[in-house]
Amino acid sequence: MQPIRRLQCLFTVFSGAFLIPYILFLIIAGMPLFYMELALGQYNREGAATVWKICPVFKGVGYAVILIALYVGFYYNVIIAWSLYYLFSSFTFELPWTNCHNSWNSPNCTDPKLFNASVLGNGTKYSKYKLTPAAEFYERGVLHLHESRGIHDLGLPRWQLSLCLLVVVIILFFSLWKGVKTSGKVVWITATLPYVVLFVLLIHGITLPGAYNGINAYLHIDFRRLKEATVWIDAATQIFYSLGAGFGVLIAFASYNKFDNNCYRDALLTSTINCVTSFISGFAIFSILGYMAHEHKVKIEDVATEGAGLVFILYPEAISTLSGSTFWAVVFFIMLLTLGIDSSMGGMEAVITGLADDFHLLKQHRKLFTFGVSFGTFLLALFCITNGGIYVLTLLDTFAAGTSILFAVLMEAIGVSWFYGVDRFSEDIQQMMGFKPGLYWRLCWKFVSPAFLLFVVIVSIINFKPLTYDDYTFPLWANRIGWGIALSSMVLVPAYIIYKFMNVRGTFKEVSGTRPPHHYTAPIIFLSHHNFITLSRPTDLHLVLLLSFPTDTLTRWCGKILMLLGKSLNQHHTQN
């Protein structure tokens, strides 16, 4: 399950308006693709790359999602390290973000007890006011952002965050080094504890003054916001973050299932519980927003924020005002820590299983490979814990798994539904569970989900705006690097297709020519592991392409025709 944190950042901005596209995309794309990935992994019992033995030219999709998962691991572990730092800082009688008497505070720091709406002035929202003790603890005490002038001025890694990051990586390594034998046990804690903590926070939150106003704002639907493309794009992206589809995680874990496991039931239950949990967590978040708005006598929309500010500024500030604040802070950050580790384990397992299944040398030395992946993510994550590390993290968070993950899932849906074939895929599912998917699922896989994904990918590219962080605007070269990161994963799909075609034996002239050599064998790059065909003579290139990109019925007929053609050519050559 991807972290509640990211979903609530979006709910905070769009509130009820976000729920409409979120639920719509969940039904027409999230659940169908979740079901597809579970079935793919369970039937083929392979990781994200080798699962494409069903359609070899689409193996680049597997490498793309593995690279995306690796990118996310670079910065996601940093967010977990922040949570661990906050957790350590919470073990004190007075939380360090409650006053302005610390070494990191600026002279302009404003005591929240003396705060009122007149302090803001110029229409500044409270969520954008960076002079509160909680805001200064995050930006000056933890990130040391004030010591950086921008992404061009990163500085050295902070040793405190480096130690926290090292602890996180060590936990992940020992949770994954023996595969599902260890991760399956760890997940019992990391997946269940957040539910207990969330329930406790929810019950306490709705008893606070002003909580009703926050919940009312959460459920209010502003239909005007539905005209904004960003609402729909963010809802689509969040579906895949929330369910984990497209990162190779589902395929990796499903490959360990029993062959006859009911993955249809798992898909429905897991996706529903995940999204209902996210919806319920909104009440816990907005009850706190309502409480903060009540305390500072401002509007809820002035308190609402997005990004890390919600989790590391606003929520800690609210906790600091409660009775027994130390206890609530410890409980809250334990929840964040377990949620983060749970999500990061899934992403790293996708990378490890995906590559280990493809390269047997890595599989034979899984523990060493797991250490290499863990240590590699640690080294690259050091860029994100420098003084200007938040700029690197924002860059990766925007480009590494935005448009690129949508593109990867689009190609995955096309590869399975159109080239491998919905009918054949349905037969695979029937072999596992004894029944075929219903018409709704087959229509979504073949038409609805690909169309939806294509639309969102195009709109996300058209509506791209230069990257910013608060008042800082990223330079043009940083945006270009960001797009380079995004394209580095997307380009693997067409690159692998070209690579496969370039590896057809024989020159282009021999493959397309009319004068075949006497002893020439050209294997077709066939997409189905059920019907691999080897021609004993070359044929026209358009027939090769036709076989490489077939539909189900066309595949079978073309296969029969070309086998007959091969036999005829053999007989003709013998007679001559």
The pLDDT tens digits for 523-534 are: 333 333 333 333
DSSP string spanning 97-164? TS-S-STT--TT---GGG--HHHH-TT--GGG-TTSHHHHIIIIIIS-GGG--BTTB--PPPHHHHHH
The pTM (predicted TM-score) of the whole model is: 0.82
Q: How deeply is 514 buried, as exposed, middle or buried, from its count of CB atoms within 10 A (0-12, 13-18, 19+)? A: exposed
Residues 5 and 282 sit within 8 Å (Cβ to Cβ):
no
* Residue that wins the pLDDT comparison between 565 and 31: 31
pLDDT band at 505 (very low <50, low <70, confident <90, very high): low
Residues 43 and 431 sit within 8 Å (Cβ to Cβ):
yes
Question: In the predicted model, is pLDDT for residue 375 greater than 70?
Answer: yes
Compute the distance between CA of residue 48 and CA of residue 58 in angstroms, rounded to an integer: 11
Question: In the predicted model, is pLDDT for residue 539 greater than 70?
Answer: no
pLDDT band at 6 (very low <50, low <70, confident <90, very high): very low
Q: What is the pLDDT of residue 392?
A: 96
pLDDT band at 373 (very low <50, low <70, confident <90, very high): very high
Q: What is the pLDDT of residue 285?
A: 85
Question: In the predicted model, is pLDDT for residue 508 greater than 80?
Answer: no
Within 8 A by CB and 6+ apart from 39, the residues are: 254, 263, 264, 425, 428, 429, 432
pLDDT band at 141 (very low <50, low <70, confident <90, very high): very high
Mean pLDDT of 37-62: 93
Q: What is the pLDDT of residue 275?
A: 81
C-alpha of 137 from chain center: 29
- Closest by alpha carbon to 103, among 62, 136, 79? 136
Question: In the predicted model, is pLDDT for residue 511 greater than 50?
Answer: no
pLDDT band at 374 (very low <50, low <70, confident <90, very high): very high
156 is in an annotated binding site: no
Residues 524 and 496 sit within 8 Å (Cβ to Cβ):
no
Contacts 24+ apart (CB under 8 A), 260-265: 260/432, 260/433, 261/42, 261/432, 262/433, 263/35, 263/38, 263/39, 263/42, 263/432, 263/433, 264/35, 264/39, 264/429, 264/433, 264/437
278 is in an annotated binding site: no
Q: Give percent of the chain above pLDDT 90.
A: 45
Q: What is the pLDDT of residue 52?
A: 93
99 is in an annotated binding site: no
274 is in an annotated binding site: yes
